[in-house]
Amino acid sequence: MTLLDINGLSVRYGDKTIVDRVSFTVDEGQWLMIIGPNGAGKSTIVNAISQGADYTGTIRYLGQDVKKYKPVDLAKQIGILAQNHHVGYSFTVAEVVRLGRYSHAPGIFAKKSNDEERLVEEALEITGLTPIVNQSVLTLSGGELQRTFLAQLFAQNPKVLILDEPTNHLDLVYQKQVFALVNEWLKGEGRAVISVVHDLSLAKAYGTSALLLNRGKTVSFGDMDSVFSQGNLESAYSMDVYAWMREMLSQWT
């Protein structure tokens, strides 16, 4: 079943076209990798889906235009992990993660269910944040901060996860952990993942489909093998990616 259907998506800032008529779909159980060199418009697509940028074209979730969703309802379906986090004040890890439940009980007089706190604790647990749950987010390392917001996302418990460079600040251990976590999460019913990834090896390892962009335009969209063809990558990155990857790997023998 198709969860997200993006059709003719364009984003312009002034007279500059950042994303140019991009179309793709994400089905249940899929992990779509959005790849491409810097300035390809990868993060802009994420912003458009989260309604954080003006766009033309349509974005449908389960057949309905996302613009017709109320923000809280959309947040229950689509969760987004931003690339960078600049927290203004010294909130605790728990406070940030708890906000993930916002869309599930937005009303001030809404009743608190026991599930609420359990989901928060679970999210903290699987991201390994339980020991620092009362620490101020201002004192966290980049990796801890990233995991805090990932935990918030798990607490939010949407159907589609959109991760903008999820392992940006993470060392190898957590990179592996995060991808394993998301992979595990994806096994649940009616779920899908979209992630913007720079590391082509990681993308190749976990993706089930891919969207390759260059300068805002689609180079290729489809299953992993067809998108990751030598010709596609070379035209997008202007270099022999295959040769480079082999050279990198050859060091480890």
Angle (CA) 19 13 221, round 5° = 5
Residues 14-53, interacting with another protein (CB under 8 A): 50-53
* C-beta of 98 vs 191, nearer to another protein: 98
Between 193 and 232, how does the x/- string for binding to another protein read (CB under 8 A)? ----------------------------------------
- Tell me the number of residues near another protein by CB under 8 A: 45
How far apart are CB 102 and another protein at their closest, in Å?
A: 5
Residues 66-105, interacting with another protein (CB under 8 A): 70-76, 79-82, 85-92, 95-96, 98-100, 102-103, 105
Q: 22, 45 in Cβ contact below 8 A? A: yes
- Rounded Cα distance between 8 and 20, Å, is 8
- Rounded Cα distance between 210 and 227, Å, is 6
- Rounded Cα distance between 106 and 7, Å, is 31
Q: Which residues, other chains included, contact 86 with Cβ-Cβ below 8 Å and sequence gap of 6+?
A: none
How far apart are CB 76 and another protein at their closest, in Å?
A: 7
Please count the CA atoms within 13 angstroms of the CA of 131 that sit on its side-chain side.
3
Binding site for another protein (CB under 8 A): 50-54, 70-76, 79-82, 85-92, 95-96, 98-100, 102-103, 105-106, 108, 110-112, 116-117, 120, 137-138, 149, 152, 156
